[in-house]
Amino acid sequence: MSAGVAEVPARLRQARVALLVSYLAQGTVFALLVTRIPAIQKQYGMSDGVLTIFLAAVPILAGVGSISMEWVVKRTSPRAVLRIVQPLTCLTLVGVGAGDQKWQAAVAMAAFGLCVGGLDASQAMSGVALQHRNHGRSIMQGFYAAYSLGGIIGASLAWSGAHWHLGLLLLFGTTAAVVIPVVIVASVYYAGPAELGHAVEEAAEAAARSIPWKPLLPLCLAMCVAYIGDATVSNWSAKYLQDGLHSSDQMSTLPYNAYMVVMLLGRLFGDGRIQRWGSVRTVQLGTAVCALGFLLVAVAPGDWTAVVAFGLVGLGISVVVPQVFAAGGRLFPGASDAAVARLNIFNYVGFLVGSPLVGALAGGLSYRIAMLVPMVLVLLILLVAKSFGAPAVALAKADTVAV
């Protein structure tokens, strides 16, 4: 065996660790932002209605960023995109903390949305490609476990900021100052053509193939409703505790932390469950647990019960999203980048639907009633769970590119 061939497994391991660091950093930054939504609202003097509009606009722009990455990746690589958008995401976080006028918040949060969209898509593309090079063995849960660990770190930093009354600029700026050098160093080891073999060529070839929507639609539905649930926890759990259960500013940071802690545990053991039980059964069980968690959130008598219930939601969701991407990659093994980019759009559809829907119901009726909506919608995943075990779809050449 030549030296070059012997080096490939080691480089793949390094690339996998580097991508784990990328997911960890993203989880930290995102959690820090969403757990300080009440503080952001206060700093910019937003009403609940204006806040809902802002929270709805971010996923729209993230969807634009995500689908744009399909075009960019065909001409470069997921690695090239990751190296640029991840540091930029950290800088947009600083921008959110730096202003005090609504137009400044609009600019910073719009930039955050665009960057996060590109970051999500390029990470998912890289993760699916690495899984293919790992002979199809499930590794996607591990990446999302790293994201969950980052969420714990970010939510804990938010708790510290609330406890010691740190300003948003100091809190966000210090975090960015630490995270940016870390992701720049990690980016040196991201997988490229040498590590992924024909993955880059396959992504380019996908531009000449028609990617049919029909096989993807059940997975799109699952992605959408899973992120309606995730958006509910991300955007409204802190507000639910603070406004609905009259908890303290510090206490309001804990639901997302509990959500991420339990999600981390679910994802750490998720790959093993997938190997033993299969994707279909694992997703079915996760869906049922998630729905039960939202039911307990809605009837929680106090803040600590709600924190535990949000953790149960995290346990259920922990397996769904990684398996959507993995199933999409299996459906179109020769065009996984294109499939992942399309599926990732419905991440933002879920956020777009979930955030304003829950916010409007909470404002017009009550937070308890609002929490029942994601419970019902998440159960729709049970109707399409068999799609997570669907075989690969043969692609035919097309005269035009599918959009």
What is the pTM (predicted TM-score) of this model?
0.77
DSSP letter string, 303-350: HHHHHHHHHHHHHHHTTHHHHHHHHHHHH-TTSHHHHHHHHHHHHHHH
Report pLDDT for 270. 65
Q: How far apart are CA 356 and CA 30, in angstroms?
A: 18
Yes or no: say if 237 and 310 are a contact pair by the CB < 8 Å rule.
yes
SS (H, E, C) 237-277: HHHHHHHHCCCCCCHHHHHHHHHHHHHHHHHHCHHHHHHHH
Q: How far is the C-alpha of 251 from the C-alpha of 363, rounded, in Å?
A: 21
Instruction: Give the pLDDT score at 5.
Output: 39
Residues making up the chain, counted from first to last: 403
Across-strand partners of 209? 397
- Quick one: tokens of 56? 């709805």
Q: Report how far residue 287's alpha carbon sits from residue 375's, in angstroms, rounded to the nearest whole number.
A: 9
Token pair belonging to 284: 């079915």
pLDDT of residue 195: 67
Burial 240-258 (b: 16+ CB within 10 A, else e): bbbbbbebebebbbbbbbb
pLDDT (tens, 9 = 90+) of the chain, 403 residues, equals 444 433 446 788 899 999 999 999 999 999 899 889 889 999 999 988 888 888 888 878 887 887 787 678 767 778 888 999 999 999 999 999 999 999 999 999 999 999 988 898 888 878 877 877 765 566 766 787 888 889 889 989 998 998 898 999 999 999 999 999 999 999 999 987 766 665 544 544 544 456 788 888 999 999 999 999 999 998 899 889 988 888 888 888 899 999 999 988 887 776 666 777 788 888 999 999 999 999 999 999 988 999 999 999 999 998 888 888 888 878 887 666 677 767 877 877 887 788 888 888 988 888 899 999 999 999 999 999 998 887 767 555 443 333 3
Rounded Cα distance, 28 and 176, in Å: 10
Q: How crowded is residue 401: how many other Cβ atoms within 10 Å of its Cβ?
A: 15
Domains annotated on the chain, with CATH: 3-389 (1.20.1250.20)
Residue with tokens 């993760």: 127
Residue 135 φ/ψ region, left for φ over 0, alpha for ψ in the -120 to 50 degree band, beta for the rest: left
Could you give phi then psi for residue 397, rounded to 5 degrees?
A: -65, 145
**Strand, helix or coil for residue 209:** strand
Angle formed by the axes of helices 367-378 and 279-299, to 10°?
170
Residue indicated by tokens 């300080």: 36
Helix, strand, or coil here: 77? coil
